[in-house]
Structure 1
């Protein structure tokens, strides 16, 4: 008695699996199957690795940011623990429009970049020389005090568009809020050997000792090929062969140091109202 065809295993009935297995190894169907399977497995491995490494990446990013703050303030020592050295700074969340510190946010965890993207904590810019589109209403500034407890330096974040990317960095000012101690960028994608020369120690050293504003309080700082009429005390030489990056740095520094940026805060500082 012959066996009912419907009761046979799928492979014996010539089903789709059996037909697929019977195909030549180099067939289009099998080649596509292997390629898709490998892509799926690889994407799963990459995704799992990204999730597992995210905490480490975030810690490293924070450490790099802290190192840059230490460097721009002139107190970085590679022989010392970064966290221990960074403890010397006093972080405050600053409300830009009033120039006053706010207690609305925790300064230790406040995310400046996220705040700048959130409509609740940022504004869309109509006059936007720095090319940032939206500006956060609040930013984190860092005070460094001397042994007597007086303000020694102020470290303030700034950012703006260059040629290819947004440059994120910090500017360090002396206690008078006018003399520049240093400028340093920690995140950008400018052209290596040209715009990326913003990282060149020799160019960064040009900022030390420059002034933001003249005796009348007029903002004079410039990053240009030719020195302005105000004089060399307010001028940093342009980057050779990187006109657009230079223009970007010029615009972002003047934007953040002006009334739309830290102007109200610096006025408060000069009036002696920042303790």
Structure 2
């Protein structure tokens, strides 16, 4: 074999060995870091829930977030078909978003039903409760739906009257910064506390209004200003709220809670 061929073979051999070593290293690092990544995702979720529920303070260290969440928040699983709490899934480990991709644990939504554009809906989901003196003080509901460019994932916190909003916000989305991304703007989020979701007759009345809310309107208590320059994102948020608070979402569950039958 010529020296040139030997050199080429050696070069290729070294390259292959380097690739193999790098692949093993990357794979090993991914496996080793996965528990940390999962823990960070859970921490972000807990931080978001506490913030939207008006608990804690900004910038709390991880330890305080976990301690406050575990001491104040009770996680339960709800069967969306019956609108009642269930023990069919473990609230500590159950992942509704993962379940939504499992044909055995979810259903395909028809075009008429799917106003939130989520395509599939899980049968079971998790809700979060804050109790005070043995009574429901705050209910936090997970909500999601498509905006302009992405699915928005968030939480809606309501008082124990199951009507008055404490807070609403999103912890993950891919909307355009400065436009649809204004769902993260504290000023816009600040419009939600105190709004009511349902009219006196029990019909769903919450609405995001293009052009601004008229403070003199009797409907103003249910309305929030649309995002400036982000019509489709605003419509998406409105749609996802109407889906998750309606008959195909938490509507039956809220009705059962009011009747003491959840």
Whole-Å separation in 1 of the counterparts to 2:194 and 2:163: 10
2:67 corresponds in structure 1 to 84
Mean CA deviation greater in 154-163 or 35-44: 35-44
Q: CA deviation at 1:33?
A: 7.5
More RCO (CA 8 Å, sep 6+): 2
1:245 corresponds in structure 2 to 233
Secondary structure of the structure 1 residue equivalent to 2:100: helix
The reply to whether residue 99 of structure 1 matches residue 112 of structure 2 is no
1:8 corresponds in structure 2 to none
CA offset digits 1:98-119 (Å, max 9, x no partner): 1100011111111111111111
On the 8 A contact 1:224/1:250 being kept in 2, the answer is no
2:200 corresponds in structure 1 to 215
Q: Kindly tell me: are residues 39 and 72 of structure 1, through their superposed partners in 2, closer, same or farther at Cα, counting changes over 3 Å? A: same
The reply to whether residue 200 of structure 1 matches residue 188 of structure 2 is no
1:168 corresponds in structure 2 to 153
Whole-Å separation in 1 of the counterparts to 2:180 and 2:23: 35
Q: Kindly tell me: are residues 124 and 35 of structure 1, through their superposed partners in 2, closer, same or farther at Cα, counting changes over 3 Å? A: same
Whole-Å separation in 1 of the counterparts to 2:196 and 2:12: 65
CA offset digits 1:194-232 (Å, max 9, x no partner): 111111111111111111110111111111314497611
1:133 corresponds in structure 2 to 119
Runs of 4+ in 1 over 2 A off after TM superposition: 18-23, 29-48, 226-230
Q: CA deviation at 1:34?
A: 7.2
Whole-Å separation in 2 of the counterparts to 1:153 and 1:114: 26
Where in structure 2 are there 5+ consecutive unaligned residues?
A: none
* TM-score, normalised with respect to structure 1: 0.85
On the 8 A contact 1:206/1:236 being kept in 2, the answer is yes
Secondary structure of the structure 2 residue equivalent to 1:154: strand
> Quick check: which has more Rg, 1 or 2?
1
The reply to whether residue 149 of structure 1 matches residue 134 of structure 2 is yes
On the 8 A contact 1:224/1:247 being kept in 2, the answer is no
Where in structure 1 are there 5+ consecutive unaligned residues?
A: 1-13, 24-28
CA offset digits 1:4-59 (Å, max 9, x no partner): xxxxxxxxxx16xx442356xxxxx9988777665555444332221111110000
Q: Kindly tell me: are residues 22 and 244 of structure 1, through their superposed partners in 2, closer, same or farther at Cα, counting changes over 3 Å? A: same
Q: Kindly tell me: are residues 42 and 94 of structure 1, through their superposed partners in 2, closer, same or farther at Cα, counting changes over 3 Å? A: same
Q: What is the total number of aligned residue pairs between the two structures?
A: 253
2:95 corresponds in structure 1 to 111
CA offset digits 1:162-181 (Å, max 9, x no partner): 11111111100111111111
2:166 corresponds in structure 1 to 181
* TM-score, normalised with respect to structure 2: 0.89
Q: Kindly tell me: are residues 192 and 272 of structure 1, through their superposed partners in 2, closer, same or farther at Cα, counting changes over 3 Å? A: same
